[in-house]
Amino acid sequence: MSSQPPSPAVDPLPAQPPAVPPDPGTDIPPWPVWTAPAALALGIALGGLATILVDVVAHAAGASLTHPPPAVNIIGDVVFDLGFVGAALYLASTRGRPSAAAFGYRPVRLRLAVKWFVIAVVGYYGVTAVYSTVFRLHGSDKLPSELGAEHSTVALVGASIFVCVIAPIAEEFFFRGFLFGALRRLRITVAGRDLSVWVAAIITGILFGLAHTGSAALQYLIPLGFLGFVLCIMRWRTCSLYPCMALHSANNALALGVNQLNWTAVEILGLTLGSWLLVAVVTGPLSSGEPRLT
């Protein structure tokens, strides 16, 4: 009686190794340091040119150049911010096709995001409260008034979308997504310790504060610069832009609701949650396929 030799066991295909999320120490995009000042200059040029074109078209349609209507101001501010987005995309593309993840569009676990959101809120508002008490800050943001937020429902909706949705997306993309990443390539060592991240965060924070010179009173530029620094630390520790956009949006909603509109806490919370939803709808798809950070 003959017997067939047993068939050799066939090993299954080896499983693909799980995607390893980026580490805060290595989450540095490929574009070089020189692209940081280049992006600032190009962004100012593109944004300024786009704003002039908006004013020219609006004037041709009958709008005043000295006292433009809210719609013209809103459109001008949007295209100005988009000028910086375009500058960042162009310069990032000089190192190959940039990925959304390189700018920080990566999903992040809720616990990690909440942890750094709370740390940032406590740190920023704590320091700002002390600063406000010492220097007796007063006044409010000029931008919502220029956008007509107090004069009509349509202008209020437009201003809210710009201040709480478009500005946080565009500014976080440029400052934390691009500029901070490029500046992190600076190699600064003191007593054997690498301080590149901290120096990059300080420079980015200063530039972020200065970028609001036209819309905020001078006394608020230092708190805004500190906010820019805190947002950089959030970006670094979470490897994601989403917590940064959430805090930026919430801060703008709080400032708009308290300083300009005298809204209740429930109304401000509604504005914040609605803004977060719109930010998620616009930017959420950019992180599809990326590993969730731990």
Report yes or no: 207 and 195 within 8 Å, Cβ to Cβ: no
% of the chain beyond a pLDDT of 70? 85
Of 136-140, 143-147, 223-227, 254-258, the range with the lowest mean pLDDT is 143-147
Confidence at 43, pLDDT banded by 50, 70, 90: very high
Share of residues in the chain with pLDDT > 90 (%): 61
Q: Which residues contact residue 253 at a Cβ distance below 8 angstroms, ignoring those fewer than 6 apart?
A: 160, 163, 164, 268, 271, 272, 275
* pLDDT grade for 139, boundaries at 50, 70 and 90: low
What does the alpha-carbon distance between residue 178 and residue 232 come to, in Å, rounded to a whole number?
A: 11
pLDDT at 125 over 80: yes
In contact, 238 and 116? CB cutoff 8 Å: yes
Nearest in space to 275 (alpha carbons), one of 292, 293, 257: 257
State yes or no: pLDDT of 215 exceeds 90: no
Confidence grade of residue 101 (pLDDT, cut at 50, 70, 90): very high
Residue 18: is its pLDDT beyond 50?
no
User: pTM of this prediction?
Assistant: 0.87
| C-alpha distance from residue 46 to each of 28, 38, 87, 143, 284 (Å) | 26, 12, 8, 21, 27
Specify burial of residue 18 (Cβ count, 10 A radius: 0-12, 13-18, 19+): exposed
Give the pLDDT of residue 148.
62
d(CA 81, CA 170): 6
pLDDT of res. 143: 62
The answer to whether residue 17 scores a pLDDT higher than 60 is: no
Stretch 56-79: mean pLDDT, rounded? Answer: 89
Q: CB of 230 within 8 A of CB of 124?
A: yes
Distance CA(291)–CA(133), nearest Å, equals 43
How big is the CA angle at 247 (ends 245 and 250), to the nearest 5 degrees?
105
For residue 187, name the pLDDT band (cuts at 50, 70, 90). Answer: confident
Please state the separation of Cα 58 from the chain's center in Å: 29
